[in-house]
Every structure is written in C-alpha cells, then in structure tokens.
Amino acid sequence: MKTTVKILDDRESLGIYAADLFLELSEKYIRQNGKFTVALAGGSTPKALYRNLVNLYAEDIHWSYIDFFWSDERYVAFDHPDSNGGMAYAHLLSPLGIAKQHYFPVPTSYKQPPQAAMEYEETIRHHFNAPTGIPTFDLIFLGMGGDGHTASLFPGSKALLETRRLVVANWVDALRSWRITFTYPLLNGGKHVIFLVSGSDKAAVIKGIHKDGLRHHPAAQVQPSHGELHWLIDASAGSEL
C-alpha cells in the first residue's frame, strides 16, 4: 500500500488540491476503462471539493462517464438537511447536471435500516457485476471525525467487526441514530482512498495516527490492500504533526 500525506494551508486549498486529483484520476480511469466509479463522503469538508469541481472543471471532466455512490449516509430522507446524498446533490450533482442514472444514493425509506443496507450492497454488486468477492471502486472519499471515526464506522460500534458484508446498518449509540456505511472490506478494496480532513478538533487524532502510530482509531484501519491511500489535511488538522 502506498500512503501519501499532504498538508494544505486551509480548507479551500484542500478542496482545490482534491479537485485537481479528481481530475487526474478521472482522466486516467476513463482512458483505461471507459468509466470512473467514485464513492463520495459525508460531512462538511467535501463542500470545498464540490465547489472547486463545479467552478474549475465543469467543462474539463467527462462527467457522463462517472458513476457516484456514497460511502456512508445518515438515515434521513434525501431532501433532509442532514443527508450526505442531498448535500452532494445540491453542491455537485445538480450544478453539473449529472443524469440520475449516474448517481446512486443510499435508500433510506425502509422501516428497517438493515434492509436499506442490504439493498445498497446489492446495488453495488449489480453495478460492478460482482455477485461475489469485493468490488473495486476507482476512488473513495472519506472524512474523519474528532473521535477518529470514518464513514459511519464509529468507535465501539458493531460495524467495525464486519468482515463479509460490503454495506451495513450501524447503530451509533453516542448519536442515538442509525447510519448506513461501507465496511472495511469494501473500503480497503479501493484503488484510491482519499481522506479529506480539516479542523483543529481533528489534530490530536491525526497526530495519533501519523506520528504516534496508534491503530485503534477506526480511520487508522483503512488500509487499501492493493490501492493507494491519500491523506489531505488542512493546516489546523495537521498542527500537531
């Protein structure tokens, strides 16, 4: 596994760098395979990425060859203010006019969240024509919380122990809510996994992972088996490195 750590001045610089990397990887995989499969992240940090993709590369990226998924979702409606899918739609997909057949939001209308997770896993398997084994995303974006969680893999939650499923419903006791999340097998099958981390509240965890070698944080367990891991960190998040 190849790992790179890049510290940017601020969140906007992080967004620009990530947009440049998105352009580079999209060109590579569209040229090689005629398509580019991407899993988007939740939280607020990706907004800078989306803004720069729209403002800088709306005409340069071959959007009609790109398919979008989500690495995790809150169990709310797509049009809810807390929806990761809804946020990406408002700030990226809608401004670019991405056709509905090219994005695959997590279904959140089922009464039982585990049913939604099973359907999303089947959607992914069907898309990749992978009834068994681990599908390979070209690019997976992830964020990280101040507690070291990534996607919706929270400290102490059951999803951390999943070794077979691609997508699970994860009850997060601290939030008293359900989340739908990619599991480690799917995350670690990615060709490129990019963490976008900003904010001083993340500094201690970043130091723990990258300077002290601590492995107990959920984010530290993301280690692509045959891919590349990129940490893009703003100066405040990287202040203790």
Rg value, the chain, Cα: 17
In a domain, 77, yes or no: yes
Mean pLDDT score, 121-141: 97
Q: Quick check: helix, strand or coil at residue 154?
A: coil
Residue 143: φ, ψ to 5°:
-110, -175
Does residue 1 surpass a pLDDT of 90?
no
Number of H helices, E strands in the chain: 7, 9
CATH at 161 = 3.40.50.1360
* Alpha-carbon span 141 to 68, nearest angstrom: 11
In a domain, 139, yes or no: no
* Alpha-carbon span 141 to 71, nearest angstrom: 8
Q: What is the tens place of the pLDDT at every residue in 25-38? A: 999 999 999 999 99
Contact 78, 86 (CB under 8 A): yes
Q: Which domain holds residue 41?
A: 2-57+65-131+148-200+212-234
What pTM did the predictor assign?
0.97
pLDDT at 158: 95
Q: What angle do CA 119, 114, 151 make, to 5 degrees?
A: 85
In a domain, 84, yes or no: yes
Contact 95, 101 (CB under 8 A): no
In a domain, 93, yes or no: yes
Mean pLDDT score, 82-86: 96
Contact 47, 87 (CB under 8 A): yes
In a domain, 240, yes or no: no
| 122: its two tokens | 């089947």
Average pLDDT, the chain: 96
In a domain, 27, yes or no: yes
Question: What are the E-state strand segments in 33-161?
Answer: 36-40, 66-70, 72-74, 139-142
In a domain, 185, yes or no: yes
Does residue 87 surpass a pLDDT of 90?
yes
In a domain, 110, yes or no: yes
Tell which residue, 188, 193, 191, 138, has the closest CA to residue 26: 138
Query: What type of residue is 228?
Result: E
* Alpha-carbon span 51 to 49, nearest angstrom: 5
Query: What type of residue is 98?
Result: I
In the chain, how many domains are there?
Answer: 1
